[in-house]
């Protein structure tokens, strides 16, 4: 029988172990969240991260090694974004009648997302490079990183801020909308899609399919709009 | 399932190639999404073929963000001394953005409904 060290040196060189760990971590997190009735604070992304990060720490595994396994999951974000076409198609009739609310809510949500981040960071007295890294935080990661780099931010910081924004939006959207007694699933979904990109959209799908469809539209449109307005807002507000 | 996956990846690939080719400020998958909507408009029957696999993918959308989420924990050092301020800014800004979007959506919807009636 091989000893534990030999076995570990084999396992740590294959993507298998971290791919499996990610799936098991998520299944546990999602199972717990479902059993609790999917309360907003039991966000499956957050719970999974809290389960997996200590395992990496205990095994002294660095992120690059973890990602060799986890990249297969990460890769699926692309086709999953394309898959949002189906809920969009399913809701085409209501979308066609709400073009005006969609366009104006997109403009308002997107401008406030970037503008308030810049102004709040100034109020907190944060340095300019951090402020620039914050500005594109509400849009999907690949776009946000591109913008951050183009305007002189720190892409690595933006990457962290984008994911944190997604989780914050996913956790706060349900209590916020319930507090305001908003019952229109289109408006609820759209708001979280603009403010909290894909992670917010994932939450919307967890709650209601119409909310999910509208969150998907908002996320896709905001990917386009943010890259146009952030450079302008930065020029005006800094 | 394989046909659906092939179609999704095909749309993404065409999206990526177009974005890179023309230097567009959109992510390839978003252009791929648009392309698939156009395909669905041309062939509405496609929707039912795509549905089983697409439903599974979208029901587990959170799962796909776990690798990036784990990356945040390992990279929290980039927040340095500003962690608390950044958390406060992100929370406030995200809530403000949702308020602006939801308020505008409902306000404009009511106004256009009144106008249409």
Residue A14 DSSP symbol: S
CA gap A191, A218 in Å, rounded: 8
CA gap A217, A197 in Å, rounded: 10
Token pair for B5: 């996956």
CA gap A63, A157 in Å, rounded: 16
Does A190 contact B105 at a Cβ distance shorter than 8 Å?
Answer: yes
Asked if A32 reaches chain B (Cβ–Cβ under 8 Å), the answer is no
| SS3 category, A59 | coil
Does A70 contact B67 at a Cβ distance shorter than 8 Å?
Answer: yes
Asked if B46 reaches chain A (Cβ–Cβ under 8 Å), the answer is no
Q: How distant is the Cα of B21 from the closest Cα of chain A, in angstroms? A: 16
Asked if B90 reaches chain A (Cβ–Cβ under 8 Å), the answer is yes
For A39, phi then psi, to 5°, come to -65, 150
Whether residue B116 is predicted with pLDDT greater than 80 in this model: the reply is no
Whether residue A102 is predicted with pLDDT greater than 90 in this model: the reply is yes
Does B106 contact A187 at a Cβ distance shorter than 8 Å?
Answer: yes
Q: Are B42 and B71 in contact (CB under 8 A)?
A: no
Asked if B13 reaches chain A (Cβ–Cβ under 8 Å), the answer is no
Contacts of A165 in chain B (CB under 8 A): 90, 93-94
Whether residue A69 is predicted with pLDDT greater than 80 in this model: the reply is yes
Whether residue B104 is predicted with pLDDT greater than 80 in this model: the reply is yes
Place of tokens 């450079």: A231
**What is the pLDDT at residue A227?**
87
Whether residue A1 is predicted with pLDDT greater than 70 in this model: the reply is no
Please state the rounded mean pLDDT for residues A121-140. Answer: 94
**Could you list the residue range(s) of the whole structural domain that residue A22 is in?**
3-237
For the stretch B32-75, pLDDT in tens is 999 999 999 999 999 999 999 999 999 999 999 999 999 988 88
Give B22's contacts (C-beta < 8 A, 6+ positions apart).
none
CA gap A33, A110 in Å, rounded: 30
Token pair for A42: 């039991």
**Cα-based distances in Å from B92 to A168, B83, B99:** 10, 14, 11
Asked if B56 reaches chain A (Cβ–Cβ under 8 Å), the answer is no
C-alpha angle with apex B34: A170 to B102, nearest 5 degrees? 35
Q: Chains A and B: how many Cβ contacts under 8 Å?
A: 311
Nearest to A110, CA basis, from A147, A135, A91, A90: A135
Does B68 contact A74 at a Cβ distance shorter than 8 Å?
Answer: yes
For the stretch A139-174, pLDDT in tens is 998 889 989 988 999 999 999 999 999 999 999 999
Token pair for B51: 């549905």
- Given B50, B75, B112, which is nearest A156 (Cβ)? B75
- Given B8, B27, B99, which is nearest A143 (Cβ)? B27
Q: How distant is the Cα of B37 from the closest Cα of chain A, in angstroms? A: 5
Q: How distant is the Cα of A86 from the closest Cα of chain B, in angstroms? A: 7
Domain count, chain A: 1
Please give the full DSSP string across B80-100, using - where no structure is assigned.
GGGHHHHHHHHHHHHHHHHHH
C-alpha angle with apex B25: B19 to B26, nearest 5 degrees? 65
Q: Which chain B residue is nearest to residue A50, measuring alpha carbons?
A: B70
**What is the pLDDT at residue B117?**
67
Asked if B2 reaches chain A (Cβ–Cβ under 8 Å), the answer is no
CA gap A85, A76 in Å, rounded: 15
Q: Are A101 and B57 in contact (CB under 8 A)?
A: no
- Judged by average pLDDT, the poorest of A17-31, A84-98, B69-83 is B69-83
């Amino acid at each position: 029988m091989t000893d534990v060290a030999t076995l570990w040196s084999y396992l740590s060189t294959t993507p298998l172990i971290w791919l499996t760990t990610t799936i098991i971590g998520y299944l546990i997190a999602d199972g717990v969240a479902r059993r609790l009735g999917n309360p907003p604070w039991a966000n499956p992304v957050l719970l999974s991260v809290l389960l997996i990060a200590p395992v990496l720490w205990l095994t002294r595994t660095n992120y690059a090694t973890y990602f060799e396994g986890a990249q297969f999951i990460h890769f699926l974000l692309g086709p999953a974004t394309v898959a949002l076409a189906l809920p969009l198609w399913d809701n085409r009739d209501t979308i066609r009648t709400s073009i005006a609310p969609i366009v104006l809510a997109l403009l308002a949500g997107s401008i406030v997302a970037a503008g308030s981040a810049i102004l709040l960071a100034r109020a907190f007295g944060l340095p300019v490079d951090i402020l620039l890294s914050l500005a594109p935080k509400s849009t999907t990661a690949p776009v946000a990183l591109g913008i951050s780099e183009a305007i002189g931010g720190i892409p690595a910081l933006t990457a962290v801020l984008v994911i944190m924004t997604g989780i914050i939006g996913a956790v706060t959207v349900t209590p916020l909308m319930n507090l305001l007694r908003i019952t229109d699933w289109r408006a609820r979904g759209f708001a979280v899609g603009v403010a909290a990109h894909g992670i917010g959209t994932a939450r919307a799908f967890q709650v209601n399919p119409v909310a999910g469809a509208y969150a998907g539209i908002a996320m896709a449109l905001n990917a386009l709009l943010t890259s146009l307005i952030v450079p302008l807002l930065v020029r005006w507000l800094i | 399932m394989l046909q659906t996956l092939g179609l999704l990846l095909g749309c993404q690939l065409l999206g990526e190639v177009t974005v890179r080719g023309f230097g567009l400020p959109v992510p390839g998958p978003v252009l791929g999404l648009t392309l698939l909507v156009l395909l669905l408009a041309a062939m509405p029957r496609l929707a039912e073929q795509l549905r089983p696999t697409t439903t599974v993918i979208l029901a587990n959308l959170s799962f796909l963000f776990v690798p990036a989420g784990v990356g945040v924990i390992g990279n929290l050092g980039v927040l340095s001394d500003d962690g608390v301020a950044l958390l406060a800014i992100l929370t406030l800004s995200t809530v403000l953005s949702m308020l602006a979007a939801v308020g505008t959506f409902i306000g404009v919807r009511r106004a256009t409904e009144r106008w249409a009636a």
